[in-house]
Structure 1
Amino acid sequence: MESVEQGLAARPPGAVKMQAGGAPRRKRTVAVFSLLGATLFWAGNYVVGAGAVHNIDPLSLVFLRWAVALVPLLLIAQLVEKPCWRSVAAAWPWLLALSVCGLLGYNLLLYFALEHTDAFNASLINAFNPALITLAAAVFLRERLTPLAVAGVVMALAGVLIVISGGDLGRLATAGFGTGEVLMVGAVVVWTAYTVTGRLAPKVPPITATAVQAAVAVGLLAPVHLAKGGLALPATDGALASLLFIAIFPSVLSYVLWNRALTVLPAAGAGVFLNLITVFTAVLTLLAGQVHAAAQFVGGAIVVCGVVLTNVPAFRRQRRDAQLPRG
């Protein structure tokens, strides 16, 4: 597929108004809306998932989610990315590890957590993820960790503790952590492992990688359901609608929209949009009539500020790269 610069080379000078980075303004606008759609659907996974786990157990929900999403993911991967399946198969140990950490481990812990805590609380704890990934990359990938990034990680962690404690940090010493919060912290750790592993893995087209990981997740969970005597199918129209939403929007469309946007926008800039998952979750739960405590908003704001502070070096690199002359 032609790059953006190559595609524009054939146009007369001045035919398309350009912005920094060489992308047409229209494509950048479409990319921004794609990121907004992807994060909105991922936020919907928290909100809809919180209701779904009361009708479908987490093991069945994860199995059904990826079983339904598998076919469209494979079709889109073949049509859009046209992967070399021999090369994909050669990366099977990495794809297996990624599936166990991401599509299985993260989602199982998330849905188990949603049985014990609300969607907004879970999304606030999840917002700490980019800061933890920065820390893990410094430890395991030897990436440089600046003092500003360390300050951001500490700030984001403080925000998470405020959320978990409900604004009373002293309560943690006596009452400890809630079950849902502990499970959600576990989900964040598992996703961090997924991200670090993904940076070390051989390059596989992203939608293709997701499709293969979905197939692995379904294959690994199928014997578990056979051993326990079957899986819990949606018993009501509402439960079926929740499953279909989770299987189509956050499982397929979010990945397609996100990866489409990355063909136009740099990864560092796109990563900022992940903080909108928490914002959208807050809006959706408020629209659903849920009442949130002040500690959640204060802690969430501190987490987001800490994550932004952690990623300041990446933003600076992005701005510097955009100013470099292009050959």
Structure 2
Amino acid sequence: MKAPLYLVLATLFWSGNFVVGRAAVTSMSPLDLTYWRWTFAAVPLLLLAHFVEKPDWRAVLSRWPALLLLSALGMGAYTLLLYAALGHTSAVNASLITAANPALIVVMAIVLLGEKATRLGWLGIGLGLLGVLLVLTRGELQRVLSLSINTGELIMIGAILVWGCYTIIARKLDIPAIAATAMQVVMASLTLTPFALALDVRLPQTPAEGWSLAYIVVFPSLGAYLFWNLALKTTPPGTAGNYLNLIAVFTAIITVALGTPLTSAQIAGGVLVIAGVLLTGMKVRAKRPVAAGSSLGS
């Protein structure tokens, strides 16, 4: 019974990243948050990997070209885009767009890897797309024709496209998940350092900024990855993937608890996105077996 609890905690922590990140970007830049998030998380993640997975570090390091590419996509580009998007849209909208990620990954696998989906799977993809459009247009679908969509939500679409590429590539990586994540985080911190120095990245200046960064480092960066990968030891990846739908649910609950009501478009869009992901995830068949992808990089 521990695995379901671990999966729930992981998705809860990632949900908090949307809410806390949305508050933090009002005074800190996306580069501030991204750089310090991974810099402070690097050593603890290495220790987690070493004691939980006990990997062959020489074998891990031999895969450095793939790890560097994944670091640039998942830890660098995705995280920067996520926090940039949160500067222009709500945590709920960002999480609902992210909830369409599994369906997007299926589409990318079909296009890039030649995988196939059933008719029910395509129906799920269509429902997910409709749900995202409802969220993007605030329930006014005609806004798509005029391209009247919030800048933050367009950035968030870019973020999930990047994460889709990350996941497709990560499927081919045959090294322990926490060790792979830890090395990507270390690489992200190192490669972002010149930009951090050039752009004068700053540490938190107020208690609120400090607590926000502390949450982002401890919970979505360390705790969520630990719980997710512990759960995967006894839970099939497909089953675990369905728990990712809880991110949008938890984000909505936290947002409402903080006093911001949900709109009818957000509720309807969320239902369609989650229904679409469930249909897509349950009914996709591949030409060849595919290894489990990485956990969500929120």
* Cα distance in 1, alignment partners of residues 208 and 12 from structure 2: 20
Return the TM-score normalized by structure 1: 0.85
Deviation at 1:175, TM superposition (A): 4.9
1:250 aligns with 2:220: yes
Q: Which deviations, in whole Å up to 9, do the C-alpha atoms of 1:200-228 show, x marking residues without a partner?
A: 23x11111111100011101110001122
Q: How is 1:80-91 mapped onto 2 (pairs within 5 angstroms)?
A: 80-91=52-63
**Cross-structure match for 1:225:** 196
Q: Which amino acid aligns with 2:93?
A: N
Instruction: Give the alignment of 1:176-191 within 5 angstroms.
Output: 176-191=148-163
Q: Deviations over 1:151-203 (max 9, x none)?
A: 111110011001000000112222522100100000110000000010123x1
Per the alignment, residue 300 of structure 1 pairs with 270
**Secondary structure of the structure 2 residue equivalent to 1:265:** coil
1:282 to partner: Cα distance: 0.2
Aligned length: 285
- Counterpart amino acid of 1:114? L
Deviation by residue 1:24-67 (Cα, 9 ceiling, x = unmatched): xxxxx110000000000000000000001112110011000011
1:210 to 181, 194, 197: 181
Change over 3 Å in CA distance of 1:169–1:98 after alignment to 2: same
Q: Pick from 101, 113, 119: which aligns with 1:129?
A: 101
Are the counterparts in 2 of residues 35 and 273 from structure 1 also a CA contact under 8 Å? yes
CA distance in 2, matches of 1:142, 1:92: 27
Structure 2 distance, partners of 1:283, 1:197, is 33
CA distance in 1, matches of 2:36, 2:217: 8
Show CA shifts across 1:64-88 (max 9, x none).
0011111110111111111111111
* Alpha-carbon distance in 1 for matches of 2:222, 2:58: 23
Query: Helix, strand or coil for the counterpart of 2:116?
Result: coil
- The CA distance in 1 between the partners of 2:92 and 2:160, in whole Å, is 15
Measured in 1, the distance between the counterparts of 2:113 and 2:147 equals: 36
Q: TM-score, normalised by structure 2?
A: 0.93
Question: 1:271 maps to which residue?
Answer: 241
Could you tell me how far apart the structure 1 residues matched to 2:184 and 2:159 are?
17
Alignment of 1:112-151 (within 5 A): 112-151=84-123
Alignment match, 1:44:
16
Root-mean-square deviation (Å): 1.2
Q: 1:282 aligns with which of 252, 259, 271?
A: 252
Report the alpha carbon displacement of residue 142 of structure 1 after superposing the two structures with TM.
2.0
Contact 2:143–2:149 (Cα < 8 Å) also in 1: no
- Dislocated runs of 4+, deviation >6 Å: none
Q: Distance in 1 between matches of 2:215 and 2:139?
A: 34
Given the alignment, which residue of 33, 46, 49 partners 1:61?
A: 33
SS of the aligned residue for 2:146 comes to: helix
Q: Distance in 2 between matches of 1:305 and 1:78?
A: 38
Preserved contact between residue 122 and residue 181 of structure 1 (Cα < 8 Å): yes
Aligned to 1:11: none
Preserved contact between residue 268 and residue 314 of structure 1 (Cα < 8 Å)? no
How many percent identity over aligned positions?
A: 47
User: By how many angstroms is 1:312 displaced?
Assistant: 1.8
